[in-house]
Structure 1
Amino acid sequence: MVLDLVFFSALLCWLPVVGAPSAGMWWAMGVSYSPASTEQILCAKVPGLVAKQARYCRKHLELMPSVAEGAQKGIQECQWQFQGRRWNCTTIGGDPSVFGKVIEKASRESAFVNAILSAGVVHAVTRACASGEPLSCSCDKRRKPPPDDEWKWGGCSEDVKFGVRFSRNFLDPRENRRKARSTMNRRNNEAGRQAILKNMETKCKCHGLSGSCEVKTCWKQQPDFRTVGYLIKEKYDSATEMEITFRREDRGTVEDLEPKNSHFKVPTFSDLVYYEPSPNYCEYDLDSGSFGTYGRRCNASSDGIDGCDLMCCGRGYNTMSEETVERCECQFIWCCKVKCKSCQRIYDVHTCK
């Protein structure tokens, strides 16, 4: 079961949904995000939300634009991390799932999408709280004593625990805890949150005359979201393959997930999990959601996944020259401007056959 959450865009451009879609995603609102006022958001009219989510939306109405921003962050980071891969996190305009059929499979790619979007919500909500604008949250007041006398707590430590709790309460209730796909989704949601929670940074600032450090105040801050993306990408590369097991309860059968290979370590809540193989993404396949790699740019000098041999799946590649105009021979002129020439450059561009 996919995360069956259809949400609204921040501009109230309602998604083109017919009936009750089975592949709608709450993160669809992040595709065309722009800052929205809370007056625009009508939680009761958001299709696909369960009652608990709708109540949570109403309770934290002022934070819903941050949820949209977090979705946009996650989508953009997904596309950055996979820009040189056969699957490049392509979004599909007008599709309520944003990513199309590719995330209907319980694959590594679906695992990454869930994790990066969950992390995006944590990051955006936590940062909004630290800005002081929302009334329902603020800075983190829970501070342990500093480790020494050289510094003291100050500034505004970002309350990441609130952001993590918000993400859990808003994203997870839709999942059916008796189904394997829902278990996978929840675990990968949590892995995205842990990527931020376990990597909070201590930032410090010195105070004193002439730049001296008579007093040093420090605070906790989330890592840059690009760093979060790299962390989750590492989890994608080492994701654990699972298999479905069945357990009988009084209310019926429950689907659980267990590691497929008992020789590997049991995944923690910081790890990504999946249980279905990925398409090879080489060929266009409507059923699997693969767009293929025909016409994709590749790096002829690379032996990695972005190289033409792997990207083009052995089909070969075409090479053509591309001319661009760039600034060159720039000089600093006192005072105070930079003067540059315009130079024509010719590059070889390689695309998959």
Structure 2
Amino acid sequence: MEPHLLRLLFGLLLSGTRALAGYPIWWSLALGQQYTSLGSQPLLCGSIPGLVPKQLRFCRNYIEIMPSVAEGVKLGIQECQHQFRGRRWNCTTIDDSLAIFGPVLDKATRESAFVHAIASAGVAFAVTRSCAEGTSTLCGCDSHHKGPPGEGWKWGGCSEDADFGVLVSREFADARENRPDARSAMNKHNNEAGRTTILDHMHLKCKCHGLSGSCEVKTCWWAQPDFRAVGDLLKDKYDSASEMVVEKHRESRGWVETLRAKYALFKPPTERDLVYYENSPNFCEPNAETGSFGTRDRTCNITSHGIDGCDLLCCGRGHNTRTEQRKEKCHCVFHWCCYVSCQECIRIYDVHTCK
């Protein structure tokens, strides 16, 4: 590893340690091995770092749901990395730090808004899916949406109970967001925006039954959207996130911070929109204080004029080009019946990386 990256990583680890007091470090359970054995080791709840008392009680009372909670956070991180794969900040995680994103989430930026939304949505999604698959005795199929059948179809299968998944996410992910400050208000708002994206896009999913696909009988059930669709929708909300300002109010419990839209001429954000109140760094250069890894050595798209293109992703520093040989399957032939045979070809590609 390059010396400047080693220094940056060391700085990120130190910064992450300093930031643990207000950091959702329970997200780190998605990157470790402990979540795979949560169902069989109830005492393990006490070893999960960063749980506030309410989360610890939830973990102990509903231990069989915890693997799904961890899987949901992991799902959210993976989707974040997919959505930002061509951006200057590409949702990088640090495996050896409890603050798995480093100091990037210390600021109330668009990036923080998206990560909270996608992680909370991931928890709701994974718990809902687990319940429908019958892996938990605490939940099951949704029986509330079954009304009279539509024309040409009837209810069947296992409708997914997204309301239960959202409830679990709300109880667990929002447990620490009870402080009277602006950051807690922002996190809670964005958490809910992520979960609402799932609820807003529940839909009927149907399957045909009959000879030769005749669809004599069609059964339908209530289903979640694909999580990739959830990620796409939240990425759009990231791009149009609303900038807020912090206001202080005196209440009986003391000073309370709330958020107000910064620009009165724009439509105020709804509960489905993402909000933030601090500007993002440009992420062009390595910076331990902001958590930026920079974009040096990142692969860029020479044909794109967007943020993934070599001009923007490389921040005007230029790019290097090298050739790579890759083995690929080619000249594939289908043989009756039933296999495919392929040859192996070597193809040469140009790879462009930022200076």
Unaligned segments of structure 1, at least 5 residues: 1-15
Equivalent residue for 2:57? 55
User: After the TM superposition, which of the residue ranges 158-167 and 55-64 deviates more from structure 2?
Assistant: 55-64
Q: CA deviation at 1:154?
A: 1.6
Work out the CA distance in 1 between the residues paired with 2:336 and 2:210: 34
Check the 8 A contact 1:23/1:96 in 2, yes or no: no
Check the 8 A contact 1:139/1:157 in 2, yes or no: yes
Counting helix residues as a fraction of each chain, which structure ranks higher? 2
Post-superposition CA distance 1:118-149 (Å, at most 9, x none): 01100100011111121111100102523634
User: After the TM superposition, which of the residue ranges 35-44 and 114-123 deviates more from structure 2?
Assistant: 35-44
Q: 2:130 aligns with which of 128, 131, 137?
A: 128
Output the amino acid matched with 2:341: K
Equivalent residue for 1:104? 106
Q: 1:297 aligns with which of 271, 296, 299?
A: 299
Q: CA deviation at 1:116?
A: 0.5
Equivalent residue for 1:168? 170
Q: CA deviation at 1:51?
A: 2.1
Check the 8 A contact 2:323/2:351 in 1, yes or no: yes
Output the amino acid matched with 1:339: S
Q: 1:279 aligns with which of 281, 297, 310?
A: 281
Equivalent residue for 2:36? 35
Change (3 A) 1:310 1:274: same
Check the 8 A contact 2:42/2:60 in 1, yes or no: no
Q: CA deviation at 1:21?
A: 4.5
Equivalent residue for 1:250? 252
Q: CA deviation at 1:263?
A: 1.1
Post-superposition CA distance 1:281-334 (Å, at most 9, x none): 001111000111111110111101100000011111111111112121222234
Check the 8 A contact 1:328/1:342 in 2, yes or no: yes
Q: 2:227 aligns with which of 216, 222, 225?
A: 225
- How many aligned positions are there? 338
Equivalent residue for 2:161? 159
Work out the CA distance in 1 between the residues paired with 2:245 and 2:212: 63
Q: CA deviation at 1:152?
A: 2.2
Q: How does 1:331-346 map to 2 (within 5 A)?
A: 331-346=333-348
Work out the CA distance in 2 between the residues paired with 1:348 and 1:239: 36
Check the 8 A contact 1:150/1:215 in 2, yes or no: yes
Change (3 A) 1:294 1:36: same
Check the 8 A contact 1:143/1:153 in 2, yes or no: no
Check the 8 A contact 1:63/1:134 in 2, yes or no: yes
Check the 8 A contact 1:118/1:167 in 2, yes or no: yes
Q: CA deviation at 1:264?
A: 1.1
More relative contact order, 1 or 2 (CA 8 Å, 6+ apart):
2
Work out the CA distance in 1 between the residues paired with 2:323 and 2:65: 49
Work out the CA distance in 2 between the residues paired with 1:130 and 1:314: 50
Output the amino acid matched with 2:63: L
Q: CA deviation at 1:338?
A: 2.4
Q: CA deviation at 1:208?
A: 4.1
Work out the CA distance in 2 between the residues paired with 1:117 and 1:192: 8
Work out the CA distance in 1 between the residues paired with 2:126 and 2:268: 31
Change (3 A) 1:22 1:190: closer
Equivalent residue for 1:235? 237
Check the 8 A contact 2:244/2:261 in 1, yes or no: yes
Equivalent residue for 1:93? 95
Output the amino acid matched with 2:37: A
Give the secondary-structure state (helix, strand or coil) at the position aligned to 1:280: coil
Q: How does 1:311-350 map to 2 (within 5 A)?
A: 311-350=313-352
State the Cα RMSD in Å. Answer: 2.0
Query: TM-score, normalization: structure 1?
Result: 0.91
Give % identity.
60
Query: TM-score, normalization: structure 2?
Result: 0.90
Check the 8 A contact 1:24/1:96 in 2, yes or no: no
Check the 8 A contact 2:25/2:99 in 1, yes or no: yes
